Structure 1
Amino acid sequence: MKLNFYGGAKMVTGANYLLDTGNLKILVDCGLFQGSKFAEFLNYEGFPYNPSDIDYLLLTHSHADHIGRIPKLYKDGFRGKIIATHPTVALIKAALPNTLALLMEEAKRDGHEPLFREDHLINAVLLAEGANYHKEIRLDQETVIKFLDAGHILGSSIIEITCNSKKVCFSGDLGNPPNPLLHDPDIPENPDYLIVESTYGSKIHEDKQERKNILEKVIDETVAKGGTLLIPSFAIERTQELLYELNEMFSKKSLPDIPLFLDSPLAIEITKVYKNHAEYYNEEALRLINSGDDIFDFPNLVFTKIADESKQINTIRGPKIIIAGSGMSNGGRILHHELRYLPDSNSAILFVGYQSEGSLGRRILNGDKKVSIFGKKIPVNCKVFSIGGYSGHADQKFILEWVKKINRNQKLKKIFIVQGEIDSAEILGKVIKKELNIETIVPGQGDKFTLE
């Protein structure tokens, strides 16, 4: 077998891996490069393989940096089969139209053709079929695949590919347990080769109780000053986790009596998908639902789906909370709110997810005193906060323990470290090698390996 790294190598985004079994060409993920202008440029380059030669595209989950180039793959000739868990198929149908809208905005702004058209998106999604966790799917006489629970977002998967008794395991994005909604990541059994993410490979998160304490503190401080709290949030998973915990705060009467707006049409649609797939939740979330609690809704929460409703938010005087996309402030309605509230010293912005190098969110988080939004230089006078514990990604400590459990029978031959900035990937690789004495490799873009 040959393993090729065409995205997510020495960078967080653009996940795209090609496994050639000799009989089948199997892609794992086909995501957008995100963050800097250079990253956006990479999306428009041709694929380093012929898309029409690809037999299967397997998806670990539905975030844009793992699915965003699927319609381009179709546009360039792919007609194979797409396989993902049932929730992932539902989520890509909801998420990809939003990706197209953002790409069209970008194309109009920069004066070039969009990455793909709506017809490419529609036809690509028709190739997708759903799979269940833990059930083997035979692709040919030699190759079997299985989806395991990654605990990252609804339907997220660790993918096992077994061919001629060799097992290759792709971690996808690993969850950051304990998750208020989802199960902990599964432990794959005896893979020979492991491809593991490293987004937070050099960091240790705050514990979950600490993140709740920080959230309450940030809300209380902002409300006391009469300001507005902005929370740029990813529409998938992060928003639902926030709603769950804000609902919990409301039930315990620790949430101030102020309006809270979910100003994201995509997040509203995604929340509906979550409600339709409750069977994937963990026991505690199911217990709350069965008791009659709507875990994603509570008094004072307002869903603003259409543009006019979004504009009305700015007419609301006094303190308020606005959750809006995109999570890295690269587009979406959050930009309009940042334009208004970043200069306000009484207001605050709270980041609850990873901010790619080069993204607007990263620049704000790094302390830039002025940022550019819609071509205007905007002063950043508001308070800036970040909660690492809200990350949907496992930290170094969890990844190391997860790999140790996988290698309990000492079957692992090599570990490839991906989906992290270079320092993060290299630090994680050194830690794993020191602890387990297994060869670790941080592959670069275009690197190819023969799996013996």
Structure 2
Amino acid sequence: MQIIHHGAVNGVTGSCHQLDINPQSSILIDCGLFQGAETAGRNAVDQLKIEFDLSHITALIVTHCHIDHVGRVPYLLAAGFNGPIYATTATAALLPLVIKDALKVGVTRNQRLISLYLKRLQQIIKPIDYQKWFNLEVNNSDCGYQHAKARFNVAGHILGSAYVEIELSDASLTHNCTHNYTRNNTHKSTHQNTGIHSDNSHDCDADKKKDSHMVVFSGDLGATNTPLLPSPKSPLRADTLVIESTYGDKNHHNREHRAESLRQVIERAVNDNGVVLIPAFSIGRTQELLYELEQIIFSQQQNPMWQSIDIIVDSPMAANFTEQYIDYKHLWDTEAKAVLAEQRHPLDFSQLYTIDSHQDHLAVINYLASRQKPTVVIAASGMCTGGRIVNYLQRFLSEPTADVLFVGYQATGTIGRDIQEYGPRGGYVYIEGDKIDIKAGIHTISGYSAHADQQDLIDFVEGIKHKPKHIRIVHGDTEAKQTLADKYRQLLPNTEIEIGTS
């Protein structure tokens, strides 16, 4: 058994991990797009190529449907992948919406081709409920594991997100197999790692039978004590753990502090009746922001400003995802369900406006530029790498009355990171070739990240009753991965801690 990485080892995007069960069987966990600095030196076509061998890959498991985890799925299908795609029930409902948008942006606007892709996708998606074991196809081999099953557990990152447990078992080995799966040495992925091995991967003598081995892929874990979704709970057992490290070197503000910071930043920002721009991913961050904005509006009933402020979500995708959040409200946490019980609608309140068409989007920008009323605009993408937020930034970033509020991670090389870094210094940024002086106020509230912070990542491992023998750290910048590795070495001195590299 080994694990090879085809992304999310040199940074936080392009998540794609290959678990080799035996020489004839492998599965993929996620297949996402690269973004930001991780696309440097590679043209658009090369970034999307499926450069690894698919001949032995029997299934794709999707942890959640953010684009950096599923954006290469259309290219996977085009490359000939014909196996099942396993996802939680909610993720299975959201995935076609994400893929449809990815196809329009990066592949084609030919509606017939898009329909064919989506039809094929619907045929192979297998919705699975949380905590339900499902069998994975394993081809016969005289070396390695012969059976595999998996199940999803709540990750608390976005609706439907999961970490996945994969149990490998029943491998009766009939010959020495120290060749260590030489077929994998022929993979051509530019993001390849030879992998984590089970205890007996180099000692496969005749008549020796491996015990089961539990591999856990964290996907993206959510922060604890956040609204809408339950916090993740640690698995009982993980022999091998592949874990994200986005905030492996940082801790977020607590929930109360971040909500108060949101209120204060917006109140200061709209004193001059300017616009507040919040770049946010269409799924997850947008819904969480709406939830807390409704909470603030409800608690500030005597404050005229909050009762008159407009909240604009300028994203058809976000609107569609919000509907799905409402449809799957049985997956909300107890706090959010209690708000519903009060006959309040945290994702559909009177001061909330949704912009659909591109024509309306452009009209709103012009309207906001000419009026004097406090307004909060939430638009994708979360790292300002594209989408409607870019048009807002082009128009308002040079306006002293405007403010930009970052509520999530900004990857190196993205417009968001540049604004975040150079804006407070009175610097500038290039957007679509145009140099724009940053005169808008720039604010960051780290507590709104949908990712677990350092303490959450430590608690997740500490909560595993049967501790990992191996931990592979992925999905983080170099400093975040190294800092988290040091923490894990202190916590588990007898565990092999490895950092994913290309």
TM-score, normalising length: structure 1: 0.92
Counterpart for residue 10 of structure 1 = 10
Counterpart for residue 448 of structure 1 = none
Q: How far 1:228 moved relative to its partner?
A: 0.7
Q: Could you tell me which of 276, 284, 287 is aligned with 2:338?
A: 287
Q: Could you tell me which of 384, 387, 391 is aligned with 2:449?
A: 391
Counterpart for residue 428 of structure 2 = 370
Residues 123/39 of structure 1: CA separation in 2 closer, same or farther (3 Å cut): farther
1:340 equivalent in alignment to 2:395: yes
Counterpart for residue 263 of structure 2 = 216
Aligned identity (percent) is 36
**Native 8 Å contact 1:33 1:40 kept in 2:** no
Q: In the aligned structure 2, how far is the partner of 1:38 from the partner of 1:431? A: 31
**Native 8 Å contact 1:136 1:146 kept in 2:** yes
Q: In the aligned structure 1, how far is the partner of 2:333 from the partner of 2:14? A: 30
Counterpart for residue 444 of structure 1 = 501
Counterpart for residue 34 of structure 1 = 35
1:100 equivalent in alignment to 2:103: yes
Q: How does 1:71-150 map to 2 (within 5 A)?
A: 71-104=74-107, 119-140=116-137, 142-150=147-155
Q: In the aligned structure 2, how far is the partner of 1:352 from the partner of 1:47? A: 32
Q: How far 1:216 moved relative to its partner?
A: 0.8
Secondary structure in 1 matching 2:294: helix
Structure 1 spans left out of the alignment, 5+ residues: 109-115, 446-452
Q: In the aligned structure 2, how far is the partner of 1:169 from the partner of 1:422? A: 22
Residues 13/73 of structure 1: CA separation in 2 closer, same or farther (3 Å cut): same
Residues 181/31 of structure 1: CA separation in 2 closer, same or farther (3 Å cut): same
The count of aligned residue pairs is 435
**Native 8 Å contact 2:50 2:75 kept in 1:** no
Residues 287/211 of structure 1: CA separation in 2 closer, same or farther (3 Å cut): same
Counterpart for residue 449 of structure 1 = none
Structure 2 spans left out of the alignment, 5+ residues: 138-145, 170-211
Counterpart for residue 205 of structure 2 = none
Residues 387/361 of structure 1: CA separation in 2 closer, same or farther (3 Å cut): same
Amino acid at match of 1:399: L
Q: In the aligned structure 2, how far is the partner of 1:263 from the partner of 1:345? A: 22
User: Per-residue displacement from partner, 1:54-102 (whole Å, max 9, x unpaired)?
Assistant: 2100011010010000010000110000000011011111112222233
Counterpart for residue 309 of structure 1 = 360
Q: Could you tell me which of 175, 189, 196 is aligned with 2:236?
A: 189
Q: In the aligned structure 1, how far is the partner of 2:115 from the partner of 2:5? A: 28
Amino acid at match of 2:498: I
Q: How far 1:326 moved relative to its partner?
A: 0.7
Residues 420/43 of structure 1: CA separation in 2 closer, same or farther (3 Å cut): farther
Residues 248/345 of structure 1: CA separation in 2 closer, same or farther (3 Å cut): same
Residues 120/44 of structure 1: CA separation in 2 closer, same or farther (3 Å cut): farther
Q: In the aligned structure 2, how far is the partner of 1:380 from the partner of 1:195? A: 40
Q: How far 1:117 moved relative to its partner?
A: 6.2
Q: How far 1:126 moved relative to its partner?
A: 2.8
* Structure with greater Cα Rg: 2
Residues 78/276 of structure 1: CA separation in 2 closer, same or farther (3 Å cut): same
Q: In the aligned structure 2, how far is the partner of 1:125 from the partner of 1:420? A: 32
**Native 8 Å contact 2:153 2:163 kept in 1:** yes
Amino acid at match of 2:11: M
Q: In the aligned structure 1, how far is the partner of 2:346 from the partner of 2:42? A: 36
Secondary structure in 2 matching 1:134: coil
TM-score, normalising length: structure 2: 0.83
Secondary structure in 1 matching 2:40: helix
CA root-mean-square deviation:
2.0
Q: In the aligned structure 2, how far is the partner of 1:226 from the partner of 1:56? A: 53
